[in-house]
Structures are given as structure tokens and as C-alpha cells.
Structure 1
Amino acid sequence: MSLAAKDAVGGAATAKKNRTSSVVQFDTSRFADQSGAKARRLALSAIIFTALTLLVLAFGGTIQSIDYHSLVHALRHFPATALGWSVLATAASFAAVIGRDICAVYYVGARTPRLAPLIAGFCGTALGNAVGFGTLTGAAVRYRIYRAVGIRSDEIARLLLFVAGGFGLGLAGFGGLTALIEAGPVSHLLGWPTTLLQVVAGGALTASIILLLFGLRGSVRIGGFCLTAPSKVIAAMQLALTGIRLFCAATALWVLLPGASVDFFSFAAIFSAATALGIVSSIPGGIGLFDATVVWAFAGHASIDQIAAALLAYRGIYFAMPLVLSAALLAIFEARLAIAPGVPTANDRLIEAATQLSPRFMGVIAFATGVMLLVSGATPTFGARLAILSMRLPLWVVETSHFLGSLAGVVFLFVARGLFERRDAAWWLALLMAAASLGLSLAKGLAYGEAGFLAVVIGLLFATKRQFDRPASMLGQPLTIGWVAAAGLIVAAAGIIFFVAFRNADYTARDLWWQFEFDAQAPRALRALLGAAVLAVAVGLWQLLRPPKGLAPRPDLIAVGRAARVLRVQDKSQGMLALMGDKSLLFSEDGDAFIMYGKRGRSWIALFDPIGPIEEWPELIKRFVALAASHGGRAAFYQVRPETLPFYLDAGLSVMKLGEEASIRLAAFDLQGGARAHLRYALKRGEREKLTFELVPPHATPQIMDALAEISDAWLRSHRIKEKGFSIAAFEPGYLASQWIALVRQDGVPVAFASIMTTGILQEAALGLMRHSTDASPYAMEFLFTKLILDLKAMHYGSLSLGMAPLSGVLAAPLASRWHRFGETIWRYGTRLYNFQGLRAFKNKFNPVWEPRYLAASGTLSPFVVLADAMALIGARFKSSGARAWNE
């Protein structure tokens, strides 16, 4: 079996295991395979490093012989007919790829929408060509697409093996056939004896024919998969389509080579060998190794500059163009889902699965954008455009634009990883850098093509925004050694290009670095390259040498049980949020107090004050701050009370006001007077609309859990949001089963509910989760709250917390901080973003006492970063640890 087929088996097996196992099984297998995966990554890195080293040693002299100006001249004067034929051959090659997928679907006996093989074949191959590991990357894309249309995992595995095996066999057969047809010229090009070439080529072709005619019988078991041999007709079709793909791919490059210096079949044989070397090397797109093989084979038959220009044009047509078209296709699918939402059909499920591939494509495009900007900064600007700029812009604008453009290229290299991981911060940074780079490209040299590509990138980013929904910090993303090394190699390659482009510059001149003139392009490019290198090294060292971020483990059953026992003897009912299972827990030395916290990037954010005896707080706060500092993070406490501020000030934290919390003093609450007329009306109106209220105790909550789930799901759908967490209660059955539930029925049907967080001490209660169905009475929630307050008063509770109103009471006094001025501005004019004033107005109906709540965080600027991270933690999709110990 070929290397490509083995990769496909591994990719299919991993994909199948990940999707058919439970969550616990997946996590276990992941940690069990961690050492093996690390060894494979190291081996792969060693292969790539060795290949690149040999490439530099073997072809360093060839690179030095390239004349930059001749290369640019050749690129700008390509015949339109040659470019047209190359594009046509590329289209035919990808049509054959799609045909291979159709054939493979037929082989496994599956039925799919017509769109599925087109997306899987075209997008999978485009991504595989650009990223490298072509078969394995294409397998991942194909798995997602075919899984979305209902093909079973075992059938997908057979399909992937069939495609990979067909490609390996077709490559051997195509290369062997073309080499035999022109054995003499090919042996001369390669420097091999003709007899040796005929033996090798004949052996490859013969092996392909024998496997096709006699070897495809019965079934073959590979690992846990049973691969049924295809019929000879299907196998022949697959080999024929593979041959067409390779034939057209070779044609796409051959028509760009100067003057048909080598006949096509001789070239096709070299092309097949170069393609195989590119696959084995695992270098993205086989870049460098594939190109060097072609240059080496044809160096004596055409100008090195013309061959290099043909290879660059081929890379743009056969690699870059399908990648951008794939991303555009996914962007169109995004628009299709946004414009016509409704009941999902088979095609809609397919399109939804396809759009989830957008981050991969945008990550590759962002990395390519970084390469483009770095190369642009290391090469000279056309003289005519520079003359126009000299009449329009001052010199300092051109110099600054050139320098900043190269720095933006480095940023793109690193932001690409964040896009791969769907980080929202990476999306925003990529959009900002693309918009800034567009202006810089025009200001530094009127680079219209570069600006056009950046405009396309901006459009694709806007179209795919929905897919970047992971609220994670760019500053907190882990950068592997491999990624840092890749960025370093790109910067080094830009340096090589610089020396090729400015080979005639006088590098011995002492004032080279300080020449600031419009026509002093070498010093300008040298400064930009140095700035890019310094930034790349700084980011790499900062990422690799900074302390590990540390982990915030989810609590297990034992930890949740300990927290539940602490809560039973405390009066702070909001501490019940610790039992949701989505926050980490840090206990004091004797276990009588704890802090619940979440982590995002480098922010370690504790929710509320510590829970437990106050005499244990100083030690616990100190330990939490030290824990964050040990991992290079920032410690913070979110929504702390005013009377506890000295603890945080003593710990060296800064304090800023977040808003105010509404607390009803139940003993003083009644329905008398004109101020309570609206509450009396809500009760009467609710009775007329047949609303009834009941307070369900915890032991009876499981009996109504299904009804609560229906109300909750309807509320989420109507508001088009996902379950939140951290400081907001979420619908978690085990968590709700520990609480009182205030339930409102309309005509006997549950329509609204609210969970009531209480502890073992009848002092303070707090509202938890609140939901209502879409057909509930407009007065249902007001009816619920009024009845609840009266019942809690009758049960002799002291107070009921209605939760916080963000930015309430953040006033811009004459000596107020910038935060207070900013907060008041948002409070006054930010209604379109969030109904700040409406929320306070609703809670004011119950005449609460408003108590301030604060954020305590380390550092001067850290509180603002922490606040953004806290909002991201709240907005992140709720994930529970599944703990249930509090019911015991």
C-alpha cells in the first residue's frame, strides 16, 4: 500500500473513533495516544527539516543565479493564451478529482446529494495541495462532508482508502508510462542510464497493471477495516480519472514553460517524479522540493528565470486559485444559510458541514497573506509607481508604510493559527491587519494586485464571521515550536529573496541603514526585513519562554460534594453556582472554604468572594493570586461586595465598579400603596388569564424536569442564543434538581419558571435560571416574581437577590476615573448593544436595595483585559463536568 493510502487509513480510523466514542472514551484515548502523537509530530518535523536542509544545500547556487528583474519581466509578459490554457487545464484536472469522488461514492454503494462529491473533491484537494499532507488533509475534509450526508464511518473509511490507493497506483502508472514513451530524453534529463530508467518505469507500470488485473480480488483487512476489492470497471475508471488529473496538472505547468523546450511526455515523467517527492517530503504543497526538481531537470533547456516564472505562475493558478475559490464557495454557503433559514434539508446539513471548514481555509489564506506581505516588503517597487508616489506622498509615509507592511506580514503568520482554532480574537485581528495592510500596500508602492487580494481576504473574513465563535484570547493561544519554526523559515526565505532582488546593492556602505530617499529601495527593504525578523523572534521567544498557562480543571464528584457541604452552612446563596460544574474549585487548607473560578487565556477569574468562614479568606485569596502568577497570568475577583474590598486591596489588586445588585428586603415588602399598584394589577391580570403559581421543592423537581426543558429550549430558540455560563445560571438538570423551582402554569400547562438558590441558612435567597415559553402571558414573569417574593417572605427568608444590573451606578463624577466616564457613556448610549437601563427599570418595580459590586484585578491595564475575558467566559457555550454529588 502507498504512503498516501496508509495516511488515509490513519485519518479515517482517528475520525471514526472520535465520532463514535463517548466523550469520556474520547478524552481517554486522546491522553493514551499523546506520546505516540508527539513522536509522530517529531518524526514528521525531522523529515521536513531534513528535506529543507538538503534542498538548500543542493540548490543554493541555483537560487543565487536567478535575476530578479528578469524574473519579474517574464511574469509580466506571459502570453495570455498560455495563461488561458493553464487555467483550462487546471479546471479539467479538478473536474477529474470530482469524478474520482463520484466514482468512490459509487464504489461504497452510498447515495449522496450531487453537491457532496463536488465540495469534498474540490475543497479537499485545494486544501491538501496548499497545506501539504494532501491525502490526509483531503481525508479530513471528505470525512466531514460525507458524514454530514449520512454515510457511515466504515463506508467513509473504505471510500478514503479507495481514493488514496487509486491516486498512488495512478501516479505510479502514469509516471511509468510517460517515462517509457520518452525513455531516452527523460534519462538524459535525469542523468540516469536509459536501461535503468526503463527498468524502474517498466516495473512501476507493470505493478499497476498486475494489481488492476489480478490483485483486486476478495477482501483486504487493514487494521479494523475490511476493504472489499472494487470491480475492474470501477478500478479502471478510478485509475483513468487519476491519469487525467495528472495529465491536466502537468499540462497546466507545461504550457507555461518557455518555448516548449522539452516534449510533453518527457516533461510529464519528470512532473510525476517531482509530485511523488513533494508528497513524500510532507512539505506544504511540496514547495521548494517540487520546484527544485523541475528546475534541476530543465536548467539546461531554458533560462532559469523563465523556468522560475513559470513555476510561480503555476503555483498561483493550480494552488492559490482553487484555494481562494473554495473559500469563496464556503462564503456563498454562509450567505445561503443566513438568507434562507428554515427547516434543515439534506442539502442544508451538507452546506452547514461545509461552512464549518471555513476556519481552515481562512487560516491558510491568512498565512499566505503574511508570506505575500513579507515578500513584497523584501522586493523593490516598480520605478514608475515610485515616481508617482514621490509626487503625491511625503517620504516618511512611504517609509513607514513599507516598514509596517512587513510587520503586518509577521502578524498574519501568527494569527493564522488562531483562525485555524476558530478564535474570535484572531478573526478581529486578521480583519484589522487586512484593512490596515490594504492601505499600506497602496502607500508603499501602489501594489494594486496586493491590495486587490487583501480586499478579497476582507470580504471572505466578513462572510465567514459566524464560524469564529470561540471566545479565546489571541495572546493566550499556544504556539508550538513547529509553528514558530515555520514563521522563522518564511522570514528567512524573505531574506533570501531580498538578497536575490538586491544583489547589486553595496552592503559594505556604512550608511546603508540610514539612507532615506525615494529611490533608496534596498535600505528601505532591509529595514523592513530587519523589523519583521525582530518581531518574529520576539513573538517566538515570548511564546516559548513565557510560563505555561496552566490548566483550570473541571471539578469532579468529590470536589462538588465538598463544595455542597460548605454551602450548607453559609448564607451566600449565589455560591450555589459552583454546583453547575462549569467552574474550577480551589479549597482552603482545611477544606472549609473555597473559591470558584474560570480561566480564559491568561486571566484567572474568581466568581464572587470566597465561600466559607471569613477568617480563611486572606490565605485563600493569597493562594489564588499566587496560582495565577505562577503561570504568568492575572488574578481577578468578579462581582465582589463593598465590605470585602480591604481583602483585595491588601492583596495588591486594583478595584473598579461593575454595577449594582438588586436585593429585596423581604420583611419590609408588601403590596400596599400606589407604588405597588402595578404588582397588584399583575396578580389580578394573571388570575384572569388563568395563571397559577407553585413553589416546587427540590425533591419534586425531577418530576417536572421535562416540562422545564421544553420551556428552556423554546426560550433559547426564540432569543436565538446558546446556553451561557460562569456567572449566569444555565439549564443543567443536576444543578436544577438541588433547588426550589418557582413554576407558573397557564390553563394547567407550565409556561414559566425560575430556580431559587438557597443554602441551609434561611437568610438569603437568589434568583438563578429564569425562562418562559413564547406563548406565555406577558404578565407571567411579573406574576411569578411577585408570588415568589410573598412566599419567601412567609418562609421567613431575609432577602432575595434579583441579580446585578451592569454599569448601574457607574457615574462620571468630577474626579472619576476614565473607566467611570467610559462606563457612564455606555450606560447612556449603549442601549442598542444591551438593555442596561431597561434591566434596572424592571427590577426597580420590586423596590429593591441597590448594592455596588466590584471587580478586583492585578495590574493597571489588566482589569480591562480581565473584564473582556469575563464577558467571554459568560458568553461561551455552557459545558458542565456532569457532576451530581450535591443530590446525595
Structure 2
Amino acid sequence: MALVVCGIVLALLHGLSHGIDYQAMVHALRHTPNRLLAWSVAATALSYLALIARDVCALHYVGARIPGSALLLGSFCGSALGNAVGFGALTGGAVRYRAYGAVGVQPDQITRIMLFITAGFGVGLAAYAAASAVLASTAIGRLLHLPAEGLRLGGVATLASVALTVLLCGVRRAPVQLGQWQIDVPGAGLTLVQIVLTGVDLVGAAAALWFLLPEGRVDFASFSAIYAAATALGVISHVPGGLGVFEAVVVFALGNRVSPSLAAAALLAYRAVYFLLPLILAGVLLAVYELARLAGRATGATERVLRGAGLLAPIYLGVFTFAVGTMLIVSGATPAFGKRLAALHDLLPLWAVEMSSFFGSLAGVLMLFVARGLFHRLDGAWWLALVLALANLFLSITKGLAWDELAVISFFILMLLVTRREFTRPASFLRQPFTVEWFVGIAVVLAGSSWILFFAFRDVAYTHDLWWHFEFDEQAPRALRALLGMAVLALVLGCAQLMRTASGRVEPPTVEELGQAGRIIGEQGRSEAMLAMMGDKSFLFSGSGRSFLMYAKRGRSWVALYDPVGPREEWHELIWRFVELADEHGGRAAFYQVRADSLPFYLDAGLKILKLGEEAIVRLSDFTLQGGRWQGLRYALKRGEREGLSLELLTPEEAERRIQTLTRISDDWLSERRAKEKSFSVAAFDPSFIAAQSVALLSQRGDPVAFASVMTTDQRQEATIGIMRHTTTASPYAMEFLFTALAQRLREAGFARLSLGMAPLAGIGRTPLSSRWHRIAGLVWEHGGRVYNFQGLRTFKNKFHPAWEPRYLAASGAIGPFVALADVVVLAGGNKT
């Protein structure tokens, strides 16, 4: 789709470019009055102040209070990156997750913040366009050849709809129930403020471009409608920043009022003022925070904000590196200024200028590849970016005295040096994997630069002899050679990546590895990690040997179960190593049943997140069975006692001695259900695995009828139910009695938590704003009872009044999470790789 959209945009620009003279455009751009640039910068500042104020409203809406430094970091940097990269909601959400999450804002609150901002922008954009249509319907009608009366009526109808929306928000007090989701209505006042702030944002952004247009050619009200339409189409196109689509709409709509050459010059200046300048200021802000963090004097909330800034540095450097690479590529495809080349004529030999132009363009291509390594925090990518930037300090001068490039590259070097300690992952740039999407992005940049080259030199007649012309004033041949070099280099690097061999072989754990994993498990508090001792999963240990990941492979899916086990400070490196391990073998990395507090690790690794369900955690300190809410469990205990039920908690040694009894119960359970043993994320009956745990054995009038294995660690903080089995003759109250009595025993033994396991698809609601996954999951939850008793499982666990904690799947790729989830189902069903 990206390639198709790119082709459509280039076709539109080609049609519009017939009225644009390149030299006239460059002349107009260079002679833009400083007064108008200052007004454009002021309008840009107004727009970004409104964006920050929108975040203040959104934070008030979700009831979150954060320091001003965190607000500036999340709102301003998020907006700057979102505008530059495109996909503002997605990019802004990732930035806010790191900035706001660092000071305690919860993930669900950040999701609501982004929904509130996105919805407010949509309604505000509609109101802004409608107001412009009403105020300047006659002028807009003449400009776009549309009936003024129709524009006015459409604008009034849209404004009436917006007013009705605000009114409904004021009338509605109770939350709106959409499936299992509750959406709090923001209220009329907050909704109106958000719409007004969106209008101020759009006024500032439109004015930033309007000031750069030739004076007196089009009034601001008319231009506002054009700007709103161009913005909306740019958003709908999903092209990063609306690049090309936005420009095409503006140039077309201005028609004969503004010369296409002058309009193109204004648009280029606007991109620099409204997009590049805030991006540079965001880098300055990150640099200031990083220097403050290096000073090491911050404490409390300030320290957390600075840590959040450190998490943003790789994202920012990756974006800026891609932008610098694009700048160098476009520079190689466009002619240098004649006076600057003339100045070099007496200072440098021709070969120096030729080589500088050629290698500067190649450096731009390498920058596009290096950007991905910076996203991944690779130290090898950092060093290569620094070397390329330092080389281009020299090349920018020798190829044509490109002082503007020199300034941008100098700032880039400064940012690299300031953020050095964020890039410490010992991995080579050449070993990093690339996705198809990344190659598409690079292809789009090269295609765009090719179009720019032929547009800039369209007055030069093409002949085969052009390739062999070497003169100071022969810039078209120089650009052609640079373009060919860039294309060849990109093709070579792309083929080298796509043709990498991958074995994908996964070895089972050795006895020594199982012993090492067991020691690590005993030293931490999460009892679910005991599933590693089943022996059906491979291990990836940290460099220190103090932590590990357990994983299995099916097809191209490399699936790690749970978060890493061990000290939290080693999780980041382990997660990255696992992602790279999967990528090196041509697979997708996935992390199954990870917790909410660990999501930043997976977001930093560029993974997509899906909610799987919720895990039932019984707080044993509250498990007293006193009061009305525990009436059902008290009845189950009394009824079980009347039926002769009794519980015995076996130690591992006792469980090993009675393994035949446990085997008999398990075989009866499997035979009744015609099932086979599970694996991976589900505990299986294996004598060696069962004998390594405590077992709750339930007897009915002295005859064992049910059992549940209890996974614990040496810390004795948390217990997790492993495998559960019962015979066909057991009482209907057997399992309810077993869990209730077990919870009482564990509470008396000093345990704080008892995990009853996850309820799949629980807590995944469907709303009009939900993702497709949430809608599908909601339908399965409601109507999938014939396949799996989703609701019945949650209802049973709800009897114990647990705290429901969300669990997620993190996976790489656009459809990777869904494919990985299907592979997890197969793995859990007992199927091998």
C-alpha cells in the first residue's frame, strides 16, 4: 500500500509540476522576507502551545497530575515527532507512554488520553473547516469552483452537529457503556475547551503557512478551508506527515491565485518552520534533560522524568537520522548553488567535488539503514552514525558549500554525543535484521529523490553521454551518477539482508541449564516461573547468568513465556537479545502473558501489544471468609465436609511417594475428556515435574479424588496453581472446596498471593474505537462458549473475589501478534516445533 500511495503521490506531483519552475522556486525560497519567517515561527509557537494545552485537558479528563517537565517532554516531543514522522496518534502515544508512564500515569490512562486527543482533533478539524466555509463561502466557491450556498449550508450543518455533540456531553453524566467498556463522558465544558484548543492549533498551523505565501493573494478565511481539507486528506492518506498529498492539495486549490512556483517555495519553507524547527527544539530539550541526568543530582519525580527522556532518545535519534539521510539523498539529486560552486572552482580540483557529491549521497543511503540500528540502541549503529556525520561535515563543504547541511549535521553530532550512554547494546550494525516495511520506506525515499532529480533537471536533455560529462557546471551528470550509486548501494544492502541464512534450530535444555534455571527461579518471587522446569522450553540466559527467558518455537514464531525471570535490570538486554535471535533466523519474536508493568520494555523493542485476558490473583491477606461476600465459599466448605471431603497438602517428598495415586487421578481425568497432555504455557502431568512441587490432595471419605499442584519459590511470597485433575466420582463441590481450603492453608503459611491462572479474553471490551482484535475477541468471549467455556471459567474464579490483572502478548510485525497467537495455541496443545 505504501508503494501504491507513493506512486499516486508522485503522479499527482508530476502533473502539478508542469507549472513550477525549479529556479524560480529556489529564488523565492531564498528571498523569503525575514519578517514573514518570524510571523510563521510565532504562529507555529501558538499551534504547539495549543497542543500542550490539549494534553493538559486530556490529563484532567483521566484524573492524572504530572510535573510540568513531564508534560513538556510528552506533549511537545510527542507532537514534534508525530508531525515529522506521521501517524501522530501512534507516535505520540509511544512518546507519551514513556514520558507520562515514567511519572506514574497508568497505561489505560494513556490510552484514554490518546483517544480523547484524537477524537477532539477530529471534531475540532470538522468545526474549523465548517467555520471557514461559513465565513468565506463566496471566496472559497470562486477558488474551488463550488456553489457558495452549498458550502455555507454544509458548514452550518457541521457546526450544528458539533454543537449537538457538546450539548450531549453536558447532558450525559453517567459513563457510556459500550460492551464491557465504560467511557466517561468528558462533560460539555471540557469537550468545548478541547475543540477550541484544536481550533487554535489549526489556526496557528494554517497561519504558519499563510504568512509564507505571497501577500494579498488569498484571504486567511478562504485559506483556512483549503488548509483543513489538505490536512484531512493528508491524515486519510496515511503518508508520513501527509508529505506530497498535503502539498498537492494546496497547490491545486490555490489555482491561479498563487503561482505554483511561489506556492511550492512557501510549502518548503513551511515544512522547515513547522516540522523541522520543532523537531530540532525537541532534540535540544532531550539533550538538556540528558545532560541533567548525567549530572546525577535529580531525585524523586524529576529523576523519573529524566529517565523517561532517556527512553525517548533512541526514538528521536532514529527519526532524526532517517531525516538526515533523506536530506543528503535529496541534496545529491538537486543542483548546488552556482555562486558556491564558482567559489570552489579556484580552491578544489574537480575530482574532489565529484567524489564529495557521490560519497555524500552514499552516506545518505547508509544513514537510512543506520536509523534502524539506533532505534534498537545498537552501539555499532551509534559509532557508524557518528563516523558518517563527521565525514559529511567535510563533504558538505567540498561538494558545494552546503552551509545549511553543515548546521543540521553539526546538531546531529551534538545529539549523538549527548545521548551516547543510551546506545550500549553490544551488537554490530551489519548484524541487525531489517523488515520488509523498512525496505519499503527506503524505496519510497529513493523513488522520491529520483522524481526530484528529473524535476530539477528537466530542462537538460537526456543523452547517454551525460554519464561521462565531468565539469564544474555539469550538475545533472553528477546527480545522475549519485542516484545510480545510491540505488546500487541500497540494492546491495537490501539483498545482503534478505538473503541471510537462518537455521532456526532450537535445542532442548540440558540438565545443567535446568539446574541453573531452578536456582534463578528460587531467588525471585514469581511462582509461575516454575513452568520452566517442565523441560519443554529452551532457555536464553543473560550475560551474568542471573536471569533467563524460557521459550519455544513453532514455524517462524519464537515465543517466550512470561517476562524474563531474574533481576529486573537485566530484562531489557534479554528482551532485545531474544528479538534479535528470532530476527536472525527469519522469525518473529513474541512474548506471551507479560504483565502490564513490563510493557515499556516491549514497546522499546518495537513490538506490538495485544491484550490476552486477565489473571485471577487472590490477595490472601483479605481471604478471611467472613462477611456476606464469602457466603458461597463458606457453603462450599460446609457442604464438602458433609460429603466427607478433606485436604492434605503434600510436600515434594510426599508427592513423590504418592505419585501412583496422582497418576491414577490424572489418567481418569484425561480418559473422561479424551484429551492429551498440554505443554508450554499449561502445566502437564510429568512425574518429575509434579514431584518437584507441593501438591494439594483432596480425599472423599478417605479416597483420593482430586489434586492440584502448587508452584512456589524459595521466597514464599506467591503461589500458583499448576495442574488440576479430579476423578469422575468426585463431588461437584470438590474443586471449589480444594481451592478454598488451599487458600486458607497458604494464608496460614505466610503467603501473600495465590494465582488461579488466566481467564482468556476476559476484560477485552468492544467499543466503536476498539481495534479489530478487541472486537473479534469480544465476539469470541460472548459467543465462543461451544469451543471453550470462557465466561464459565471467569465466573468460577470470581467466586474467590480475586484482583484481575491484565496479561498481554507482545510480538513483532504487523500481523505477527495474530500468527504468534495461533502458534501459541498449537504449542500449548502439546504439539512440537
Q: TM-score, normalised by structure 2?
A: 0.61
Q: Distance in 1 between matches of 2:179 and 2:414?
A: 44
1:551 Cα deviation from its structure 2 partner:
6.9
* Mapping for residues 623-642 of structure 1, pairs under 5 Å: none
1:554 Cα deviation from its structure 2 partner:
8.7
Contact 2:13 2:244 in 1 (8 A): no
Q: Deviations over 1:456-513 (max 9, x none)?
A: 00001111111112222211222111211111111121111111211222312x4211
Amino acid of the structure 1 residue aligned with 2:139: P
User: In structure 2, the residue corresponding to 1:356 is in which secondary structure?
Assistant: helix
Q: Equivalent residue for 1:346? A: 301
Q: Equivalent residue for 2:474? A: 520
Q: Distance in 1 between matches of 2:149 and 2:304?
A: 55
Q: Equivalent residue for 1:372? A: 327
Q: Which runs of 5+ in 1 are unaligned?
A: 1-45, 565-574, 587-597, 606-626, 633-888
Amino acid of the structure 1 residue aligned with 2:314: P
Q: Distance in 1 between matches of 2:542 and 2:445?
A: 52
Q: Equivalent residue for 1:302? A: 258
1:226 Cα deviation from its structure 2 partner:
2.4
Q: Deviations over 1:826-865 (max 9, x none)?
A: xxxxxxxxxxxxxxxxxxxxxxxxxxxxxxxxxxxxxxxx
Check if 1:254 corresponds to 2:254.
no
User: In structure 1, the residue corresponding to 2:429 is in which secondary structure?
Assistant: coil
The 1:563/1:135 distance shift into structure 2, 3 A limit, reads: closer
1:87 Cα deviation from its structure 2 partner:
0.1
1:630 Cα deviation from its structure 2 partner:
9.3
User: In structure 1, the residue corresponding to 2:215 is in which secondary structure?
Assistant: helix
The counterpart of 2:200, out of the listed 244, 253, 257, is 244
Q: Distance in 2 between matches of 1:491 and 1:157?
A: 35
User: In structure 1, the residue corresponding to 2:492 is in which secondary structure?
Assistant: helix
Q: Distance in 2 between matches of 1:628 and 1:169?
A: 41
Contact 1:502 1:522 in 2 (8 A): yes
Q: Distance in 2 between matches of 1:97 and 1:576?
A: 42
Q: Distance in 2 between matches of 1:313 and 1:276?
A: 21
The counterpart of 2:271, out of the listed 315, 330, 346, is 315
Check if 1:474 corresponds to 2:426.
no
Q: Distance in 2 between matches of 1:188 and 1:168?
A: 27
User: In structure 1, the residue corresponding to 2:182 is in which secondary structure?
Assistant: strand
1:117 Cα deviation from its structure 2 partner:
2.0
Check if 1:170 corresponds to 2:154.
no
User: In structure 2, the residue corresponding to 1:226 is in which secondary structure?
Assistant: strand
Q: Distance in 1 between matches of 2:139 and 2:551?
A: 73
The counterpart of 1:70, out of the listed 24, 42, 50, is 24
Q: Distance in 1 between matches of 2:465 and 2:448?
A: 25
Amino acid of the structure 2 residue aligned with 1:260: G
* Mapping for residues 584-733 of structure 1, pairs under 5 Å: none
Q: Distance in 1 between matches of 2:544 and 2:307?
A: 35
Amino acid of the structure 1 residue aligned with 2:473: D
Check if 1:464 corresponds to 2:419.
yes
The counterpart of 2:230, out of the listed 261, 274, 289, is 274
Q: Distance in 1 between matches of 2:459 and 2:26?
A: 16
User: In structure 1, the residue corresponding to 2:12 is in which secondary structure?
Assistant: helix
* Mapping for residues 308-457 of structure 1, pairs under 5 Å: 308-341=264-297, 344-457=299-412
Q: Which moved more, 1:209-218 or 1:69-78?
A: 209-218
The 1:205/1:54 distance shift into structure 2, 3 A limit, reads: farther
* Mapping for residues 566-577 of structure 1, pairs under 5 Å: none
Q: Equivalent residue for 2:185? A: 229
The 1:103/1:519 distance shift into structure 2, 3 A limit, reads: same
Contact 2:82 2:91 in 1 (8 A): yes
Q: Distance in 1 between matches of 2:247 and 2:180?
A: 38
The counterpart of 1:161, out of the listed 91, 115, 121, is 115
Contact 1:67 1:500 in 2 (8 A): no
Q: Distance in 1 between matches of 2:136 and 2:36?
A: 24
Contact 1:278 1:285 in 2 (8 A): yes
Q: Distance in 2 between matches of 1:501 and 1:358?
A: 36
The counterpart of 2:442, out of the listed 455, 465, 487, is 487
Contact 1:473 1:601 in 2 (8 A): no
* Mapping for residues 192-207 of structure 1, pairs under 5 Å: 192-207=146-161
Check if 1:60 corresponds to 2:11.
no
User: In structure 2, the residue corresponding to 1:258 is in which secondary structure?
Assistant: coil
1:258 Cα deviation from its structure 2 partner:
1.2
* Mapping for residues 508-547 of structure 1, pairs under 5 Å: 508=463, 510-547=464-501
Amino acid of the structure 2 residue aligned with 1:241: L
1:49 Cα deviation from its structure 2 partner:
3.8
Q: Equivalent residue for 1:12? A: none
Q: Equivalent residue for 1:127? A: 81
Q: Equivalent residue for 1:623? A: none
Amino acid of the structure 2 residue aligned with 1:53: G
The 1:242/1:577 distance shift into structure 2, 3 A limit, reads: closer
Contact 2:460 2:476 in 1 (8 A): yes
Contact 1:254 1:267 in 2 (8 A): yes
User: In structure 2, the residue corresponding to 1:380 is in which secondary structure?
Assistant: coil
1:520 Cα deviation from its structure 2 partner:
1.5
Amino acid of the structure 1 residue aligned with 2:148: T
Q: Equivalent residue for 2:799? A: none
Q: Deviations over 1:406-431 (max 9, x none)?
A: 00010111111111121111111111
Q: What is the number of equivalent residue pairs in this alignment? A: 544
Contact 2:143 2:255 in 1 (8 A): no
Q: Distance in 1 between matches of 2:222 and 2:423?
A: 47
Check if 1:81 corresponds to 2:35.
yes
Contact 1:147 1:153 in 2 (8 A): yes
Q: Distance in 2 between matches of 1:427 and 1:464?
A: 10
Mark the structure with the bigger radius of gyration.
1
Q: TM-score, normalised by structure 1?
A: 0.58
Q: Equivalent residue for 1:213? A: 167
Contact 1:331 1:355 in 2 (8 A): no
1:584 Cα deviation from its structure 2 partner:
10
Q: Deviations over 1:430-459 (max 9, x none)?
A: 111111111101011111111111000000
1:600 Cα deviation from its structure 2 partner:
10
Q: Distance in 1 between matches of 2:219 and 2:545?
A: 74
Q: Which moved more, 1:157-166 or 1:190-199?
A: 190-199
- CA RMSD, 1 decimal: 3.3
The 1:90/1:557 distance shift into structure 2, 3 A limit, reads: farther
Contact 1:154 1:225 in 2 (8 A): no
The counterpart of 2:95, out of the listed 141, 163, 166, is 141
Q: Deviations over 1:83-123 (max 9, x none)?
A: 00000000011011111111222222222212222222111
Amino acid of the structure 1 residue aligned with 2:501: P
The 1:304/1:556 distance shift into structure 2, 3 A limit, reads: farther
Contact 2:10 2:244 in 1 (8 A): no
Q: Distance in 1 between matches of 2:516 and 2:383?
A: 41
1:601 Cα deviation from its structure 2 partner:
9.2
Contact 1:379 1:498 in 2 (8 A): yes
Contact 1:157 1:225 in 2 (8 A): no
Q: Equivalent residue for 2:532? A: none
Amino acid of the structure 2 residue aligned with 1:307: A
User: In structure 1, the residue corresponding to 2:431 is in which secondary structure?
Assistant: coil
Q: Distance in 2 between matches of 1:341 and 1:552?
A: 46
Contact 2:168 2:188 in 1 (8 A): no
The 1:476/1:225 distance shift into structure 2, 3 A limit, reads: farther
Q: Equivalent residue for 1:19? A: none
Q: Equivalent residue for 1:806? A: none
Q: Deviations over 1:253-311 (max 9, x none)?
A: 00101123111011101111111111121111111111111011013111111100100
Amino acid of the structure 1 residue aligned with 2:449: A
Contact 1:563 1:579 in 2 (8 A): no
